[in-house]
């Protein structure tokens, strides 16, 4: 799908991120939504099933389920079944602690589901420091069960200062387990905002990751790592933000947002308790602003055609400016290191 077609607007998102609950049995330090207890007024089963039908009628191809921990919703498998009955592909982001053989057997009955298990380090010490004691071993157990099934499975790791040096080892671990690796970007959202300075990768680590990624074509980066993507990987995906163009987000209480990292009142596009999914997608002023978003401050950059200003969510959280350009783009990383070297020499 060309960037031009995406910028023109689609009649429905290709995929939807649905945070089905804030309930979670972990308290990960990078959590985008500060999950823990369920949100007040989360969608009922009837409302959730109605949303599945609305999404189906709109023509959405895939739903990416997250949270919180999706499997803590007692009706989550009913929601999945409703999706699969309608031919909607589903991808579930889980911490893996609730995965067992019986659950996997039920999920493997369809070929419309994929699962990504979150792990934030190739060692027990690194992962558990972020996700909690014992989580590394539970995630490995879940991955082994899933790898033995027909369900496409991946490890999802959030790149942090603590695990940046372990990404190649995680790649090898994924290969050994028979699953794939997906690396996600750490953003200052939710609990991640509280731990931003302690966990954010340095410019040097981001550049090293970009160099490694250029030679690792089987590693997926999902969301907004296009701002760090080298020329060698440009053909593997979009090189601009897809929020409100290609994708959008539904929160636990039925509010819609441009993406999962902008689930704030400032970026609320509408409520499914007040309007339909299609009405919000078609008519939201917030969505319209994202479709018209142009990062003019980055237009003179020699990498503009490759990243188009990067991730607006990072720009908002770090600079309070949706139009400000991604503070962690490849070009700014290079500049930051050069400035630091000049300062060190001057001293």
Over residues 219-271, the pLDDT tens digits come to: 888 655 655 555 544 444 455 788 999 999 999 999 999 999 999 999 999 99
Per residue in 168-219, pLDDT tens?
Answer: 999 999 999 999 999 998 989 999 999 999 999 998 998 898 889 888 878 8
Backbone region of residue 270 per phi and psi (left: phi > 0; alpha: psi in -120 to 50; beta: other values): left
- Rounded CA separation 113/240 (Å): 27
Q: What's the half-sphere exposure (Cβ side, CA atoms, 13 Å) at 209?
A: 34
The pLDDT tens digits of the residues spanning 101-152 come to 999 999 999 999 999 999 999 999 999 999 999 999 999 999 999 999 999 9
What share of the chain has pLDDT > 70, as a percent? 90
Residues in the chain: 347
Q: What is the pLDDT of residue 236?
A: 46
Specify whether the CB–CB gap between 222 and 236 falls below 8 A: no
CB 290 within 8 A of CB 240: no
Q: Is the peptide bond preceding residue 68 cis, with omega within 30 degrees of 0?
A: yes
Looking up tokens 């879940």 gives: 142
At residue 67, φ and ψ (nearest 5 deg) are -170, -135
Flag whether pLDDT at 5 surpasses 60.
Answer: no
CA–CA dist 183, 40 (Å, integer)? 31
Who's near 46: CB < 8 A, 6+ residues apart? none
Helices (H), 59-99: 76-85
Q: Distance between CA atoms of 159 and 156, rounded to whole angstroms?
A: 10
- Prediction pTM value: 0.91
The band of 344, judged by pLDDT with boundaries at 50, 70 and 90, is: low
């Amino acid at each position: 799908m060309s960037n031009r077609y995406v910028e023109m607007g689609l009649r429905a998102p290709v995929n939807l991120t649905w945070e089905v609950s804030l309930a979670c049995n972990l308290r990960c330090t990078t959590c985008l939504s500060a999950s823990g207890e369920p949100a007040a007024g989360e969608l009922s089963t009837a409302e959730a099933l109605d949303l599945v039908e609305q999404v189906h009628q709109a023509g959405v191809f895939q739903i990416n389920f997250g949270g919180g921990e999706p499997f803590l919703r007692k009706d989550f498998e009913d929601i999945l079944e409703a999706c699969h009955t309608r031919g909607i592909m589903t991808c579930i982001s889980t911490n893996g602690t609730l995965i067992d053989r019986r659950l996997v057997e039920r999920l493997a009955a369809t070929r419309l589901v994929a699962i990504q298990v979150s792990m934030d380090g190739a060692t027990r010490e690194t992962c558990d420091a972020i996700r909690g004691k014992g989580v590394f071993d539970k995630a490995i157990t879940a991955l082994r069960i899933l790898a033995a099934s027909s369900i496409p499975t991946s490890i999802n790791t959030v790149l942090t200062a603590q695990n940046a040096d372990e990404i190649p080892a995680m790649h090898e671990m994924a290969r050994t387990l028979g699953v794939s690796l997906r690396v996600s970007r750490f953003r200052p959202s939710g609990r991640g905002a509280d731990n931003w300075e302690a966990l954010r990768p340095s410019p040097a680590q981001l550049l090293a990751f970009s160099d490694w990624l250029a030679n690792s074509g089987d590693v997926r980066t999902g969301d907004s790592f296009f701002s760090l993507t080298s020329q060698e990987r440009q053909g593997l995906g979009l090189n601009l933000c897809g929020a409100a163009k290609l994708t959008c987000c539904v929160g636990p209480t039925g509010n819609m947002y441009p993406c999962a990292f902008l689930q704030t009142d400032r970026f609320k596009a509408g409520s499914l308790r007040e309007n339909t999914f299609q009405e919000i997608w078609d008519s939201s002023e917030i969505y319209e602003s994202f479709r018209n978003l142009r990062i003019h401050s980055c237009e003179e950059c020699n990498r503009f055609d490759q990243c188009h200003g990067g991730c607006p969510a990072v720009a908002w959280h770090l600079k309070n400016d949706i139009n400000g350009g991604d503070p962690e783009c490849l070009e700014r990383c290079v500049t930051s290191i050069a400035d630091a070297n000049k300062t060190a020499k001057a001293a």
